[in-house]
Chains A and B, each alone.
Chain A
Amino acid sequence: MSVDSDDHCFSADEASTLASVLDEIIPPTGDGRLPGAGELGLASYIEQALRKTPELRPMIVQGLADLDEIARRRHAQRFVALSQQEKAALLNEQGFLFPLLFHIYVGYYQNARVLTALGLDPRPPHPKGYEMEPSDLTLLDTVRRRRKLYRDC
């Protein structure tokens, strides 16, 4: 465990385990259109996010350390060296995954490369906003013909 440093809450081993976990959570698409979460440098985003939720940090750090420990015990290898199936099976057993998923999804879906691949402009909504087609208010024709719906009083 290495939660003593303020700048990096992960040791080198834990950081490499995390990168491997990220690619299991959101792998790249087969056609290369969407990147995997591991190649986007999300580990540093997750470190930052965990600094804002210190109550979660020990659980995540411990969870990453546990992955390696169990991998060594069962397969005599580090987590990163396991097969994809072995990684998935191990991750499925881990309770720390849910809060980590949250941070991974947030980090992934606000990443410029991902947004561009989804066909979106990788920019904040302001100040440019979005163009929209004018409304078709003829849809209201039937509603306009209705009697009043409110009660007089």
Chain B
Amino acid sequence: MPEETVDVLIVGAGASGAALAWSLADTRMNILCLEQGDWMDPVKYPGMTDDWEARQLGDFALSPNARGRREDYPVNDTDSPIQTSMFNAVGGSTIMYAAHFPRFHPSDFKVRTLDGVADDWPLDYARLAPFYDINARMMGVSGLAGDPAYPPKEVPLPPVTLGKVGETLARGFNRLGWHWWPSDSAIVTQEYEGRAPCINAGTCLLGCAQGAKASTDITYWPAALRQGVRLKTRCRVREITVAGTGMADGVIYYDADGVERRQKAEVVVLACNGIGTPRLLLNSRSTLFPDGLANRSGLVGKHLMFHPYAMVTGIFDEPLESYKGPTGCCIMSQEFYETDRARGFVRGYSFEILRGFGPVSTALWGMQQGRMPWGADHHQAFGDLFDRTAGMVVICEDLPDSRNGVSLDPDLKDSDGIPAPKIAYRLSENSNRMLEHSVARAKEVLEASGAQETVAVAPLPFAGWHLMGTARMGSDPRTSVVNEWGRCHDVRNLFIVDGSIFVTAAAVNPTNTIQALALYVGETIKKNLANLFD
């Protein structure tokens, strides 16, 4: 069979790859996506089994290193206080994300102008707003209009249930006069586009067997596939190849049997997340690009941003039904979001109220905290904690720092022998001060809500699930990797649409913005099809 050249080759079928595939589908171009993971079978998600909580520490652990699935690749994150979390499958990390779906604030795109730190984005909130709206409809976002923390925005579905946890904490916020609002959640609360509504199972991080949580395998992909986009699973791309012209001409990948194959393409789009994308670019070395593809700026892999998280848990003296409801979506507070230099740091953070622990997690959390003795006192200790914890995570804005980044590990490889990524990451002084401030405020609001005791963990070691900034956008090729619509400065038929292109991190979960950007890039590609490479 002669070697086929596709018009557009997308690498990665997660949050951004799916949104871009759908966006480009109406062009009727020949579009192919290669994904190293497989389709998930929701019937096999942990929430359908008795040992569902234990599986959070096994085949559905947050870290790919802990899971050890063939579809995942290892990440050397020993040189970081925050360990990485990601998932490889059709749907990518949306399979196991909490689906907390806030937008960025307008100020998040103007941090240099407003606060004198980092860099402004080459686009603004108004430019992305229509794509946030499209994404809300495609993913099925629930929430409530009228939040004073945001410009007016579209929210298609009513909010997730607050439950006793949400209402208890809401009263605490009200006592202090602090902002809170029902969380924007990519979880359908009513029947929506053939998806059944949320049943409050509390298993969001383990895949949603109900299909209420929006993972892209059940949102964008079915729509894109209906329009003729093709998706090949268990295909792991090793490198992007370059023609003598300096343009990308395809990829080399390993299929499910580990056989090396080649796929040619007119346009290549990377949608591999903030670690997978720089890894792939750095693995794509050639005479023309000896330091990695599209890396003449030297910035590929640099400026890795996580969000430093804290988790602050309150122990209450009454049952809260806290194991019911979406795991990470309840209410959110942005009282401390915008910069106030009197606090001792720039930028800010969000509080996201969580549901409580199930029985197994209660026992293990109690053990970690030294509150779950064995022996005669065990049952009393368990009874004091189970269904009596509620708390929150704090998401602090991370600012880009060139010392933080992704490189290739000299020894570690994935199951196909491809060099694995290595993370180097430190918390900045600004982040440390912000974490300290946020933990104190979190304790204050938990106490105002009636908590008898509070327990804080900061930074939260396993919370490296937001991967941003490692191929950032900008108008200057010397200080950025892609331009304002995701096209690599150095390779004009190579695009990046994942969190790598973030200039700054904001202080909210990034998936909604990643997808809005991917839709924006798709729209811009369509507008410029006639002279895409000029």
Interface residues of A (CB under 8 A from B): 24-27, 29, 34, 52, 88, 91, 97, 101-102, 105-106, 108-110, 112, 114-115, 118, 120, 122-137, 139-140, 142-144, 146-153
Chain B 94-114 interface mask (CB, 8 Å, partner A; 1/0) = 000000000001110110011
B170, B173, B362: which has the most chain A beta carbons within 10 Å? B170
Chain B residues closer than 8 Å to A101, beta-carbon distance: 367, 374
Partner of B210, one of A105, A106, A129, A147: A129
Partner of B52, one of A114, A122, A125: A125
Q: 10 smallest A-B Cβ distances: which pairs?
A: A129-B199, A125-B201, A109-B359, A105-B363, A135-B162, A126-B47, A130-B324, A126-B209, A25-B374, A151-B107
Is B110 a contact partner of A110 (Cβ separation < 8 A)? no
B290: Cβ under 8 A from any A Cβ: no
Is A133 a contact partner of B49 (Cβ separation < 8 A)? no
Instruction: Given A25-B374, A149-B334, verify A139-B48 contact (CB < 8 Å).
Output: no
B391: Cβ under 8 A from any A Cβ: no
Chain A residues closer than 8 Å to B202, beta-carbon distance: 125, 130
- Chain B interface mostly: loop
Tell me the smallest distance from the CB of B83 to a CB of chain A, in Å. 19
A52, A88, A108, A149: which has the most chain B beta carbons within 10 Å? A149
Instruction: Given A26-B374, A140-B181, A151-B114, verify A133-B163 contact (CB < 8 Å).
Output: yes
Chain B residues closer than 8 Å to A133, beta-carbon distance: 161, 163-164
Partner of A139, one of B49, B58, B170, B363: B170
Instruction: Given A27-B375, A102-B364, A130-B199, verify A150-B105 contact (CB < 8 Å).
Output: yes
B190: Cβ under 8 A from any A Cβ: no
Instruction: Given A153-B110, A153-B113, verify A110-B54 contact (CB < 8 Å).
Output: yes
B200: Cβ under 8 A from any A Cβ: yes
Contacts of B120-171 to chain A: CB distance below 8 A: 124-125, 144, 146, 148-151, 159, 161-164, 166-167, 170-171
Tell me the smallest distance from the CB of A45 to a CB of chain B, in Å. 9
B534: Cβ under 8 A from any A Cβ: no
Q: List 15 A-B contacts (CB under 8 A).
A: A24-B374, A52-B58, A105-B367, A106-B54, A106-B57, A125-B203, A127-B199, A130-B321, A131-B200, A143-B179, A146-B148, A146-B179, A149-B334, A150-B150, A153-B110
Partner of B53, one of A24, A29, A106, A136: A106
Tell me the smallest distance from the CB of B209 to a CB of chain A, in Å. 4
**CA distance in complex: A137, B331 (Å):** 11
Can you name 20 extra interface pairs (CB under 8 A) apart from A129-B201, A144-B146, A150-B105? Answer: A25-B375, A27-B376, A29-B379, A34-B379, A102-B364, A105-B364, A105-B367, A106-B53, A110-B53, A127-B209, A129-B198, A130-B201, A130-B202, A132-B200, A132-B324, A135-B161, A135-B163, A136-B167, A149-B334, A153-B114
Is B321 a contact partner of A125 (Cβ separation < 8 A)? no
Is A135 a contact partner of B113 (Cβ separation < 8 A)? no
Is A127 a contact partner of B210 (Cβ separation < 8 A)? yes
B177: Cβ under 8 A from any A Cβ: yes
**CA distance in complex: A132, B163 (Å):** 6
Report the nearest B residue to A125, measured CB to CB.
Answer: B201
Tell me the smallest distance from the CB of B413 to a CB of chain A, in Å. 21
Is B378 a contact partner of A151 (Cβ separation < 8 A)? no
Instruction: Given A126-B201, A135-B162, A153-B110, verify A110-B363 contact (CB < 8 Å).
Output: no
Is A25 a contact partner of B378 (Cβ separation < 8 A)? yes
Is B106 a contact partner of A152 (Cβ separation < 8 A)? yes
**CA distance in complex: A123, B174 (Å):** 37
Is B144 a contact partner of A137 (Cβ separation < 8 A)? yes
Instruction: Given A52-B58, A115-B359, A131-B200, verify A124-B321 contact (CB < 8 Å).
Output: no
**CA distance in complex: A43, B532 (Å):** 65
